Every structure is written in C-alpha cells, then in structure tokens.
Amino acid sequence: MSLKGKVAWITGGGSGIGLAGAIELARAGAHVVLSGRTAATNAAALKQVQAEGSAEVLQLEVSGRKAVAQAAADILGRHRRIDILINSAGTNLGKRHLGNMSMEGWDDVVAINLSGLFYCCHAVLPAMRAQQDGLIINVSSWAGRYASLLTGPAYNATKRAVIALTESINMEECVNGIRATSVLPGEVATPILEKRPVPPSREERERMLQAEDLGKTLLFLASLPPRACVNELIISPTWNRLYLGGLEKAKT
C-alpha cells in the first residue's frame, strides 16, 4: 500500500528505532511528524529525515498528558488527519533491579514506557475513528514476552503491559477500521544500551539487530493494506545471546 498522502506521528523519533522508522516512512512518501524530548537530537533527526522526504518535528515529553493531547491537536490542526502512530519512545534505568532501583526510577519508566504510550494512543483514536482507518504500532520488547533479568522489573512489566494494551485496542477498535501491532525486538544496537549497568561491547553490538532493520520492519507493517492486522511481531538477532545461556555467559 502506498504511503503517499499519509501522516505518520513517531514518538521517540530523535534516535534509534523511531528515527530509522521515520526515515523509511518518509522515503516511502508519508509525511512524518517526529517528536522527542531533546531539542538538539530532534533537530539532527529532522535533518536526516528531510533528506529522504517530508517531515516536521515537535519537542514533546510523552509522560505529560496535556502536552501529548496538545501535540495531537496541533498535528490534526495542520494536516487534518493522523494515519499512523508509532510509539517508539522508551527508557530504562541504570540501577534497574529490585535491590538498587529507586521508586522515582520506577515511576519514570512507567510514565514513559506505559502511561506516555497510552496517552499518545488515546490522543489519536478519535481522529482515527472519524476516518474509519488508522494504524498504531507500539514498540514493546522481547522482554515484554520473555522477561529478562538483564532488563529489570520496571522494563519487563511495562513492555508486557504494552502488549496487553495493544491487543485491547484491536478488540475495541477493529470495528472502526483501526488496527494495532506490538513489535517485540530482541537486542537492538541503539543508544538505550548505554543505560545498561555494563554496556555491550562494539563486537556484541555488531551482531545485534540494527536500527535500520527495525525501520524496515515498521515500513512493512505500515505498507500492509487496511484489511490486514499483524497483532504481534517478534524479531530478534540471529545470533541471539538470550539463547546462549544468558547474557552473563554469552561469548563473542
């Protein structure tokens, strides 16, 4: 399906999976609205996406409910439609385990990974219902299906909740022509790896999924006809360290 004339809003679009998806969708003809919370990162991302197609940027912290509602209203005010929402904004903690995690850290992960994602879904649904068409892609994680000691309880819990929320959208909104997909990537070489207690080595990152792999995955989902709903898509590196006895024991 052609994406020409479509409007796609991508949160967490300043880097990583969100930026890779923005590049692919813009290249395919969609008008892409990037949002992220850091002005400098947003500006650099916008330059990359505009080199491929039509794009604009919004500075947005998705954990702010009123700010999210205003961002959606602004997009609709300019373009009269939102056809695709890709929720890629996400975070994790350095101190992420039960013995060292702060309550403030827990709240931050929940606010961005779950509440912020919900706010964005909730903000676009009225317009999608009016259109009787819309696609929501929520970036969950391998950890959302297969909880990992490495990723920690806050990340595991929020990413599993994303899967349940996505399926709830399908259950309630399929009658309105709206479809939703949870994307569950295994390890991807993106900036969030720097938040790990022990960041992976360069050699390990080279064997992981790359951001552009996820960009092409998002484009595939966005290009399917409206009659087709991919409820859940799991994608992992071929050399999957979680299959090799755990990250602590994996060898490069």
- Residues with catalytic annotation? 155
Tokens of 33: 């609205």
Tokens of 81: 């439609």
> Smallest Cα–Cα separation from 213: which of 24, 49, 84, 42?
24
Helix axes 16-27, 39-50, angle to 10 degrees: 30
Contacts of 132 (CB under 8 A, 6+ apart): 176, 177
> Smallest Cα–Cα separation from 83: which of 27, 132, 18, 35?
132
Torsion angle of the four alpha carbons 106, 109, 113, 118, in this order, in degrees rounded to the nearest 10: 60
Going by the DSSP 8-state scheme, the letter that residue 193 receives in this structure is G
Given a contact cutoff of 8 angstroms between Cβ atoms, the answer to whether 161 and 114 are in contact is yes
Backbone phi and psi for residue 214, each to the nearest 5 degrees, phi listed first = -70, -35
The amino acid present at 16, given as its one-letter code, is G
